[in-house]
Amino acid sequence: MPKAFSEHEKETIRAQMREKGKQLFEKQGIKKTSVDELARAAGISKGAFYLFYESKEELFMEILEGLEMDFRGRIFDFSLHPERDARQRLARLFRDALLTWDEYPLLKNFGRSDYEYLARKLPAPRVQAHANRDNEFVGEFIKRIKREGIAVKTSPRVVSNLMKSLFFVGLHREDLGTEAYAESMEILADLVARYITEGA
């Protein structure tokens, strides 16, 4: 039976599990990384792993959400280049966001099969909670661009769906190939920005 940990030990171990887990998931992917490897990397037993997380998928999701929070903070720090028109400013922001996303190996390499795998393995309420956080981010994003003087000519729901669509295309980057993916995202970022700022 796993030993009892003090609160300080729990905090330290959880941080170690996130850091070592991130490294393993980046290197091997979620499906090829085992609980045994994660526990060993964090210096705990396999039994102790389950004191912290119900599954490796739960740990992966916590790491993923931490990276997403960091990414979103960086998006809100971007300059929107006031010398350009609204569509150009927003398209540039989307392109910058996608380039920033690629700076996170775990996010960049998170593909369609990983998404489907997590959706199967995690409890439905956990997946829904993640989707709700995505919607909250879009709401904050809309407020931010409005404060920057960019008029939004469509509903928040449509803005949310269009932004998600840009990142869903990223799940298929291997199918498209590097060059086609970059070209497609350039065009799509412009089209999405045009629709948001000019309407149908």
Cβ-based neighbours of 132, under 8 Å, separated by 6 or more: none
Q: The pTM is what?
A: 0.82
Residue spans per domain, the chain? 1-53, 55-198
pLDDT beyond 60 at 29 = yes
Residues 118-148 have pLDDT tens digits of: 999 999 999 999 888 888 888 888 888 888 8
What's the pLDDT score for residue 108?
84
119 phi, psi to nearest 5 deg: -60, -35
84 phi, psi to nearest 5 deg: -95, 165
Alpha helices in the chain (DSSP H): 7-28, 35-42, 46-52, 56-76, 86-101, 105-108, 112-121, 124-147, 156-170, 173-176, 178-198
DSSP state for residue 54 in the 8-state scheme = S
pLDDT beyond 90 at 15 = yes
Q: Residue 144 class from Cβ within 10 Å (0-12 exposed, 13-18 middle, 19+ buried)? A: middle
Q: Of how many residues is the chain composed?
A: 200
> Is it true that domain 1-53 has CATH number 1.10.10.60?
yes
Cβ-based neighbours of 31, under 8 Å, separated by 6 or more: 113, 114, 117
CA distance 167 to 52: 30
CB 58 within 8 A of CB 118: no
What's the pLDDT score for residue 192?
93
* Band of residue 34 on the pLDDT scale cut at 50, 70, 90: very high
Instruction: Give CA torsion, residues 139, 140, 144, 147, to 10 deg.
Output: 70
